[in-house]
Chain A
Amino acid sequence: MTISIWRYSHFALAVSSAIFILLATVTGIVLAFEPISNQLKPYAITNTDDIKLSKVITVLQDEYDEIVSVEVDNNNFVKASVFTFDGDSETFYLDPNTGKKLGELEKKAPIFEFATNLHRSLFLKSTGRFLVGLFSFLLLLIAITGIQLIIKRQGGLRKFFSKVVKENFEQYYHVVLGRWFLIPIVIITLTGVYLSLEKFDMLPASKMEHTEIVDQQSKEKLELSQFKIFNDIHLDELVTLDFPFSEDEEDYFILQTTSGEFYINQYTGNVLSEAKKPLVSQLSYWSLILHTGQGTIVWAVVLLLACFAILFFMYSGFAMSFKRLAKGSKVKNKFTKDTAEYIILIGSETGHTNKFAHQFYNALVEAGNTVYFSTLNQYDSYKEAKHIIIFTSTYGEGEAPRTAKSFEKLLPTIQQANSIKYSVVGFGSLMYPDFCKYAIEVDEWLHNHPNFEQNLPVFKINNQSFQAFKNWVIQWNEVTKQDLKVILTKPLVNRKKLKNFKVISNSGLNIDDTFLIELRPEKKLKFQSGDIMSFYPEDDNIERQYSVAKVDDSILLSVKKHEFGKCSTLLSQLSIGDTIEGKVNRNLDFHFPSYAKEVVMIANGTGIAPFLGMLNETNKDIKTHLFWGGRTKASFQLYASHIENATQKGYLDNFNVAYSQEQETKVYVQDSIKANETLISSALKNDGVIMICGSIAMQNRVLEVLNSVTTTTLNEPLSTFENNEQILMDCY
C-alpha cells in the first residue's frame, strides 16, 4: 500500500498547489538573477577575511570628517555612511582597502522589486504571505514524497544514484533530475517556510541578552586603530559598526558581528557589554542566505537551476499523469463476475498494462465469449469461470504494482467453485534486475493453489513489445484451440513533425533477406550512430524503429525484410532518389563512448548497424573489438566492406564472427564471447565499455555469459558494471 500512498500524495499535493508553485517558481527564476547581477557589480569585496576592521576605520578617518557607520551586507558590499570635510553627509559603497568611494547606493531594480513582492506575498500582503508560506510547505512535502518514491523505485537508499531505467522521456528525466534537485528544493522550501514563520512571529523570541562587563582593563584613551576588538574583527565577521552619536563618553560604539553584538567605549576601546546572537536569528540569517543566494554566484545558480527543475517536474509530472489517466480508461463489463467464463485480471502501476489487457478482452468478446475484466486487487470468487488470465507488471524489486497490492492476501481466503485454468502474462523491462518477478510469483501462488491449473506458462513481455504480445496470443490460440486476433488501434502520428529522407543507395536483398539502405535527410539534421530512426507506414501508423549508423553524413540502416513486414517490405522496395518520411530520435544511452580506452561491440544480425557507423568514430587509441553473430558467410558479405575499411585504417583491432549455419555445431555470438573470457574481463577491469545491439534473445544469452564471466573472474555480478554504465544495450 505504501507506494500508492506516497504516489497519491505526491500527485495530490502537486495538483492542489500547482498554480502557486508555478508563480513562485517563475518569480524565483527572476529573483535568482538578483544575487548573480549583484556579484557581477564592482562593489563586492572578495578578501573580506583579510581586512581588519581597524584598517577600514583608519582609512575612513583619513578621508572623511566623521564616520556614522560601516556595514557589510549579504552581498559582501561594504557600505559607509560619513560626513565629508565639506559637511555633506554621504552613504556609498566603499573600497575598504583605500577608503575610496566605489559608487552610490543602488536601489533594487524595479523588476526585482516587483518579483520579490509577487514571490513573497502575491501582492496580497499578509494573506499572500501566509499562502506563500503554506505552499512552500506543500512543496516541501512534495519533495519529500518524491525522495521516498525515488528510493522505492531504485530499490533502496543505497541505490539512490544507480542507473535509472528509461521508460520514456518524462519519466526518465523526472527521476534523474529529481535525484539531483530534490535536495536544493528541500533547502529552498524549508528556508522559505522558516522565513514565513519568522514573519508571523511563530518562532521563539530572538532577543539578544546583553551582559554588562564590569571589569575594565584599562582607563587610558586610545586611538581607534589601537582598539583590541577592532583589530580582532575582520570584515567577513562584520555586520555593522555604528559610531558613537556624540562625543559624550556615555555614547559608545555598537558593533554587530555575525555572532553577536558589542557595546564599546569610544575612548578606551573596552567592551562594555556583549550579547550572543541567539540560535533563532542565526538560523534566520542562514535561511535568508540559502533562500536568496545572496553573496554567492554558485548557490544562486543552483537555486536558478532548481527553479527550472521545478518547472520541468511540473511539466513532466502532469504529462505522465495525463498519460496514465488516459490509459486507465475503464472497460465496461458486459458480464458479471459470476456469469463470465473468462476472467481477466490486471496488475498495473502506471496503466501501460491496461492497453494489452483491453486488446485481449476485446478479442475474446469479439469471438463470442463471456468475459469479465477487473484488477487483481478486486480478486473474488467466480462461479462460471474456466479461464483466468492475469496481466501484471512488477514494481521496484519484485513488488506488486498498484492495482495488485492486496492480491497475495486475498488469494488464500477465496475458494473457487470450479477448477480454473490460469495464464499469467508479465510485463516489464529487461533493464530491471527483477524482470517480471511479480508475475512469476503470481504464477507460483496459483500453481500451489488447489483451485487452479496452469494453462500456459508465465510469459514475459519486455518493454511492451506488441510483437511479443502477439506471440503469446498465438500460444494461447494453440492451447485453447481458438483463433483470437488482437489488433492495435491505429495510433495518431503527427506527420508534420516527420522529415523527408532521400534514398542514396539500396544494396538489395541478400541471402537472409537483409539489406542495407542509405538515406540522407533533406534538411540539415543532427544525428549520431546509435540514434533511433522511426518510420510510420501510413496504413497502420505503427512506429518501426531502426538503429542508425552515421556513414559519410548519411544514415545507414540494416534491415531484415519480413514476409509480412509492412515497413521492411516498403523500405526494401525503395530505389535511389525516392523519399520516405521518418524521424530520428537521439538515443543518448547508446552513443559511442569516446571517453573509454576499450570498447567491445556485440551484435547479431542487423544489430550490427550502429556499430558500422561507430567504427568511424573510434580511433587508433581506443581498443575496439567487434563480435558479430550471423547465419552464414554469405550473410556477412553485406557488411564486409565496412569491416575491412575499419580494419585497414587500424580502427578495428579485433573482429570476431560466429556463424550459426556454417558448420555442424551451431556457434552463436555468446559462444565466441565465452571463448574470449579474458578479453571481456580485462576490458571491464580497465573501465572499458561493452555495447550490445541485436535481438532480445541474443541479449539475454550474452548477458548470462557476461554475468558468469564477471562473477568468476572479477568476483562482481554484472549489475555492478551495468550500474557503472559500462554495459550499453539497444535491443529489440
Chain B
Amino acid sequence: MKNFKILAVLFITIIGLMSFTSMVESTKYKCMIQMTNYTGEGAYIVISLINPEGEYEETLHVKGEDDEWYNTVEEWWDFYGKKRNDIDAITGATIRGGERSISVIEIADDKLDKGYKLRFETAVEDQEYYTSDVEVELTYANVKGKYDGKGFIRYVRLMPQ
C-alpha cells in the first residue's frame, strides 16, 4: 500500500513536469548584424525576446564573451544579472565597427503575431549604450526583412532558416 502511494506521487510529479516542458514548435532564424563604421572596441550586443508587457522574456543571443562588461548592457543586465542563466551556447564574439556577423536565433513559433518584440541592445566599452538599437515587432511578415539600427548597428537582416 505504501509503495503504491509513493508510485502514485511519483507518477503525478512526472506528468506534472512533462506538462511544463513545452511541446511548442520553434523555428531557427538567420540573423545578420552589420555594424556602422564606428571606431573603438568590439560591441557587446544582446538579442532579447520582449513580451507584450515590454518585459524581458528570454535572452536569444549574446555577442561578447567577457562577462566583466555585461553590466554595460544596462537594462538587460537588470533582467539577466540576477539569475545568470547559462548562456554559453548562445554566446559569440564581439564585432567591431564595419564588421558584420551572422548568427542563428531560435524563437518559439507561438510567440509570433502575439505582440512580442525582438530587441537588439548594444554597448561599447567607454562609449554609448543603446537600449533598443534595433527593435522589431515579431510577426510572420517581419521575420524576413532588413531593419536599420539607431546606434552601433547599421542594419539587421532576418531570415527563417
Q: Give chain A's interface residues, CB within 8 Å of chain B.
A: 68-69, 81, 83, 87-89, 91, 107-108, 113, 117, 125-126, 199, 201, 205, 207, 242, 245-246, 254
State which residues 16-49 of B face A: CB under 8 Å: 28, 30, 32, 37, 39-41
Do B102 and A81 touch (CB < 8 A)? Answer: yes
Given A83-B161, A245-B30, the answer on whether A113 and B102 have CB atoms closer than 8 Å is no
Cβ contacts under 8 Å, B103 to chain A? 89
User: A564 to B18, alpha carbons, bound, how many Å?
Assistant: 101
Q: Tell which of B32, B41, B104 has the most Cβ of chain A within 10 Å.
A: B104
Do A246 and B159 touch (CB < 8 A)? Answer: yes
User: A89 to B101, alpha carbons, bound, how many Å?
Assistant: 14
Cβ contacts under 8 Å, B37 to chain A? 207
- Cβ of B110 within 8 Å of any chain A Cβ, yes or no, is no
- Cβ of B113 within 8 Å of any chain A Cβ, yes or no, is no
Given A83-B161, A87-B161, A207-B98, the answer on whether A201 and B39 have CB atoms closer than 8 Å is yes
Do A242 and B126 touch (CB < 8 A)? Answer: no
User: A125 to B66, alpha carbons, bound, how many Å?
Assistant: 13
Given A201-B39, A201-B40, A207-B37, the answer on whether A245 and B32 have CB atoms closer than 8 Å is yes
- Beyond A68-B102, A83-B161, A242-B102, 4 extra complex contacts between A and B, CB < 8 Å: A126-B125, A126-B126, A201-B40, A254-B100
Cβ contacts under 8 Å, A108 to chain B? 65
Q: Give chain B's interface residues, CB within 8 Å of chain A.
A: 28, 30, 32, 37, 39-41, 65-66, 68, 88, 92, 98, 100, 102-104, 125-126, 157, 159, 161
Do A125 and B28 touch (CB < 8 A)? Answer: no
Q: Which A residue sits closest to B144, measured CB to CB?
A: A246
Given A245-B30, A245-B32, the answer on whether A107 and B65 have CB atoms closer than 8 Å is yes
Do A113 and B28 touch (CB < 8 A)? Answer: no
List 20 A–B pairs whose Cβ atoms lie within 8 Å, in order of A's numbering: A69-B102, A81-B102, A83-B161, A89-B104, A91-B92, A107-B65, A107-B88, A117-B68, A125-B126, A126-B125, A199-B41, A201-B40, A205-B39, A242-B102, A245-B30, A245-B32, A245-B102, A245-B157, A245-B159, A254-B100
Cβ contacts under 8 Å, A69 to chain B? 102
Partner of A89 from B28, B32, B100 at Cβ < 8 Å:
B28
Cβ contacts under 8 Å, B65 to chain A? 107-108
User: A380 to B65, alpha carbons, bound, how many Å?
Assistant: 70
User: A83 to B73, alpha carbons, bound, how many Å?
Assistant: 29
Q: Which A residue sits closest to B30, measured CB to CB?
A: A245
Counting from the closest, the 7 A-B pairs by CB-CB distance are A89-B104, A68-B102, A245-B32, A201-B39, A126-B126, A246-B159, A245-B157
Cβ contacts under 8 Å, B157 to chain A? 245-246
Partner of B28 from A87, A201, A207 at Cβ < 8 Å:
A87
User: A81 to B104, alpha carbons, bound, how many Å?
Assistant: 10
Q: Which A residue sits closest to B67, measured CB to CB?
A: A113
Q: Which A residue sits closest to B39, measured CB to CB?
A: A201
Q: Which A residue sits closest to B93, measured CB to CB?
A: A105
Cβ contacts under 8 Å, A205 to chain B? 39
Cβ contacts under 8 Å, A89 to chain B? 28, 103-104, 161
Cβ contacts under 8 Å, B100 to chain A? 242, 254
User: A87 to B30, alpha carbons, bound, how many Å?
Assistant: 11
User: A107 to B32, alpha carbons, bound, how many Å?
Assistant: 23
Q: Smallest Cβ distance from A691 to chain B, in angstroms? A: 60
User: A367 to B49, alpha carbons, bound, how many Å?
Assistant: 96
Q: Which B residue sits closest to A121, measured CB to CB?
A: B125
User: A50 to B126, alpha carbons, bound, how many Å?
Assistant: 43
Cβ contacts under 8 Å, A245 to chain B? 30, 32, 102, 157, 159
Cβ contacts under 8 Å, B102 to chain A? 68-69, 81, 242, 245
User: A532 to B129, alpha carbons, bound, how many Å?
Assistant: 69
Do B125 and A125 touch (CB < 8 A)? Answer: yes
Q: Smallest Cβ distance from B89 to chain A, in angstroms? A: 11
Q: Smallest Cβ distance from B63 to chain A, in angstroms? A: 13
User: A532 to B159, alpha carbons, bound, how many Å?
Assistant: 80
Q: Tell which of B37, B88, B159, B161 has the most Cβ of chain A within 10 Å.
A: B161
Q: Smallest Cβ distance from A83 to chain B, in angstroms? A: 6
User: A8 to B119, alpha carbons, bound, how many Å?
Assistant: 59
Cβ contacts under 8 Å, B30 to chain A? 68, 245
Q: Smallest Cβ distance from B80 to chain A, in angstroms? A: 18
Q: Smallest Cβ distance from A253 to chain B, in angstroms? A: 13
